[in-house]
Structure 1
Amino acid sequence: MSAALQAVKQFRVRELAPVLKADPKFSNARPKLLNPFLPHKNPDSGRWAPAKYSLRRQADLVKSARASGLLHLLPPGPKVPLKELESASASAPAAEATEGAKWWTTAVEWQGEYKEKEVKGADVGNRLYAGRKRMFKGHKWERTLEKRTWKRKMLMRDMEERIERFKSTYRRKTPSPISPARAVSYSKLPF
């Protein structure tokens, strides 16, 4: 048995153990279980209990289930998109019939509803910066790049005129070596 299949089987056995103790014959066709991927509210105290499996463990289980083709056996949660779970469960009965029904692969009704959040840009693969005017902090050179390139283009556009202007003014201010020496100001300051 592969490691991926073993991980999914252990998960199912662990979750179905309380139901199996209460009803060893599985007289109830679809047992109801709390969804271990979601937080739930304690009816007695009114407090919220965290999900039984962390997001990292959920992600590992989902990877294992995908690898072994048993994604339909997992409950819905943050790491399993509902669309993907529905498509996996639609294609699963054919595989289950050929294998023969095992007690740990029985259908389960998971209590608790997972509402998938609508994220702007998720459909095109840009979830992080969707709806934002600019990207997050980043490096300073990245933030100032656009302004610098614009300034560089503007300066390069008039560069020939500026060079010509500089050369003509500099020539005019440079004293001739033949003529007598006189005071020439090379500074741009007014004094």
Structure 2
Amino acid sequence: MASQSPAQYIQLAKTLPPRLLRFLARYPPAAIQGAGANPTGYQQETPNPFKATKHPVTGQWHDPVYSLRRQADLIKMARDHGVAELMPESEKNPETKLRKRVEFGLRVKGTGVGQSVKGHIFERRMIAKMDERRNAMLNMPKLIREWKRVGRKNWVRYPS
């Protein structure tokens, strides 16, 4: 996308919805703007409108300009129109989600050392019960042989 000429960007801009066009006008990406371009007024206030910013004097955090819901809407629109790579870094960006999934994997609360995952009692005991059943089935031929040898009358021991 960065290798397109300005005429191609103009043609592309004519096909974009007004909301997305307004966003890209306020926060033009570096790929379109170029290296030495002056930032817009909006960009000076918040370089990335999708992230919270810290006030330089008070040290207080300011919320992002765009909420997570509006970020998701803009990212979806950009993806549908083929300009997703021009959007700023966001939690809602599919590349960011994929990178986090690769980095952290499928983490489930309670799966650490010495912890158990919550669930119904039958769900928590299911693995041990299935192991017992499997072992019982594997030992069944031996038990049948012993039953046939001893008989019903002399059977005093149950399988353990």
- Mapped partners of 2:130, 2:56: distance in 1: 61
Residue type at the aligned position of 1:171:
K
Q: Which of 121, 130, 154 is equivalent to 1:149?
A: 130
Ranked by relative contact order (alpha carbons within 8 Å, sequence separation 6 or more), the top structure is 1
**Secondary structure at the residue paired with 2:65?**
coil
Q: Which of 5, 11, 36 is equivalent to 2:23?
A: 11
Contact residue 5 and residue 65 of structure 1 kept, 8 A: no
Give 5+ residue unaligned stretches, structure 2: 1-13, 28-35
User: What is aligned with 1:101?
Assistant: none
Are 2:125 and 1:122 aligned?
Answer: no
User: What is aligned with 2:77?
Assistant: 64
**What TM-score comes out, normalization by structure 2 length?**
0.56
**What TM-score comes out, normalization by structure 1 length?**
0.48
Q: Deviations over 1:41-99 (max 9, x none)?
A: 11232201111212222122111101112224422222336xx69xxxxxxxxxxxxxx
Structure with the bigger percentage of helix: 2
- Mapped partners of 1:141, 1:73: distance in 2: 50
Contact residue 36 and residue 51 of structure 1 kept, 8 A: yes
- Mapped partners of 2:112, 2:77: distance in 1: 35
Identity of aligned residues (%): 31
Give 5+ residue unaligned stretches, structure 1: 17-27, 86-115, 174-185
Deviation, 1:139, is 4.7
Q: CA RMSD in A?
A: 4.0
